[in-house]
Chains A and B, each alone.
Chain A
């Protein structure tokens, strides 16, 4: 059985630097651009891109950030230390969106993706049809030493998976949880840590929330209750700071709702997608 997901490579420049980016998509209709979590890749969206209830009405697109999945790092990567920044991340998302010619895309991101959609709404809201933040927070206080995810004497893949494994709900199906961990075990050396530079250090967006106009760019926030990285409280702080944002706490889900238990996540996402469709009729 062949799935409906089609994957291709895109050549484009990001901040003047040539990149080769892996993009996959399924479905037709309203463009829905999906952003994976730190240290992972597009496979987290396999449930969504294989869900006919969604792809019937939405053109679902996911891409691997540079350094992730099947998107190579740019030439010269061996000379630099990877550190994701707000500007580079927003530039990559908007660059891919523009290269694909998406009109008023809905952007849905999880974790670091749930963070950057807040910046996208603040800085590029006029170009977007709305944002959906999964596990969204404006900042996170570090609670472990992230250097353990990138050391010569510790297996990086196993450490990354070990760090994130408990972020999922214990009720999530075992196979989906371990699939999610496999993606973490496959990340390049130091890439998860480099993403966390944005998530835990540089990308504190508390000062940006007031710039979001939800009349122009609607904001939905969906957060799994078992997430202790981006806690439900952190999401509710964002919701309180962004007038018009609609927040839902999802029971029996954690930090990777779309990947750890797609069926349960789909039920929480459906009303949001219905609202999007109703607004565009």
Chain B
């Protein structure tokens, strides 16, 4: 699974739709050298584009270390790699831009990105 799968996973999840009902933001997700732009409108991921981007515009960016992100996506992730805040704590995930969309919707971001965990991860 890749971030391109997020709309199918997230938009079909009624719990995430409820957590995200007030979330509208453009989010840049960067893992190592790869990047994706997520357009979110009221908790619905309306578009995902894969980089590279020449002049991306975003509200908040999440930039993850590739190796740590691979651990995060494991079905049973190891301590320190199992959660977005754990990655932040140990310097493996950087939050940039306006923190408000993320900090006001922490449970949505954690839940949405955790849907990428699975067999293909």
Contact = CB atoms under 8 A, between A and B. Distances in A.
A229 B99 CA distance: 20
B107 interface: yes
30 contacts: A143-B88, A144-B85, A144-B88, A145-B99, A148-B99, A148-B103, A153-B100, A155-B104, A158-B106, A161-B106, A161-B107, A162-B103, A162-B110, A163-B106, A165-B106, A165-B107, A165-B110, A166-B84, A166-B86, A166-B110, A167-B83, A170-B76, A170-B77, A170-B82, A171-B76, A225-B79, A226-B79, A226-B82, A228-B86, A229-B89
A253 to B, nearest CB: 10
Nearest to A229: B89
Contacts, number: 57
A277 to B, nearest CB: 32
A159 interface: yes
B90 interface: yes
B82 A162 contact: no
A196 to B, nearest CB: 14
Interface residues of A, number: 22
B100 A154 contact: yes
A153 B104 contact: yes
Nearest to A249: B79
A153 B83 CA distance: 24
B43 to A, nearest CB: 13
A162 B104 CA distance: 9
Contacts of B100: 153-154
A154 to B, nearest CB: 4
B104 A143 contact: no
A228 B90 contact: yes
B89 A159 contact: no
Interface of B: 76-77, 79-80, 82-86, 88-90, 99-100, 103-107, 110
A166 B85 contact: yes
Nearest to B84: A166
A158 B108 CA distance: 10
A228 B76 contact: no
A163 B109 CA distance: 11
Contact of B83 (A144, A159, A228): A228
A107 B80 CA distance: 29
A229 B76 CA distance: 20
Nearest to B82: A170
A74 B99 CA distance: 34
A159 B79 contact: no
Shortest beta-carbon contacts, A-B, top 3: A162-B106, A166-B83, A148-B103
A169 B77 CA distance: 10
A226 to B, nearest CB: 5
Nearest to B108: A162
A210 to B, nearest CB: 28
Nearest to B74: A170
Given A170-B77, A171-B76, A228-B83, A143 B106 contact: no
A165 B110 CA distance: 9
